[in-house]
Amino acid sequence: MAEEEAQHFRDIADAGNEDPWGLAYRKAVGRVKAPSNVIGCLKVNGRCAEDVDGVIQMMLEALLPCDDASTDSGHHSQIRAMARIAPTGEPAPPIGRECLGR
């Protein structure tokens, strides 16, 4: 592990010979940019997340809304009621090309 770390720093130093204003310079002056995969801010419904945990919470709320029946609209109440009813009768036939207009 120590050898890999030493090699990494040698690579940074060698990169300074090729690109004097690149990573070696920015590292020396303390201006290394954060990785691009870090989420800085996610804004949902006018709220901004402060940290990664907040981003994850907001994403879950957007993708998996609360399953509280008291917050359902009329349409969603009907869907919830229909989901409780067991299907009866024959299964629907498979959809063929004729049904799709092809």
Q: Do 27 and 40 sit in the same domain of this protein? A: no
Residue 40 lies in a domain: yes
Residue 28 lies in a domain: yes
Which structure tokens are listed for 76? 């969603």
DSSP letter (8 states) at residue 65? -
How much is the pTM?
Answer: 0.32
Residue of higher predicted confidence among 37 and 83: 83
User: Residue 74 corresponds to which amino acid?
Assistant: G
Q: Are 43 and 59 in contact (CB under 8 A)?
A: no
The tens digit of pLDDT for each residue in 46-94 reads 777 777 788 788 888 778 777 788 888 888 888 888 888 887 888 888 8
Residue 73 lies in a domain: no
Q: Do 2 and 29 sit in the same domain of this protein? A: yes
Range of the domain at 54: 35-66
| Overall number of domains in the chain | 2
Strand, helix or coil for residue 99: helix
Residue 85 lies in a domain: no
| Residue whose structure tokens are 């130093």 | 13
Residue 89 lies in a domain: no
Q: Do 27 and 46 sit in the same domain of this protein? A: no
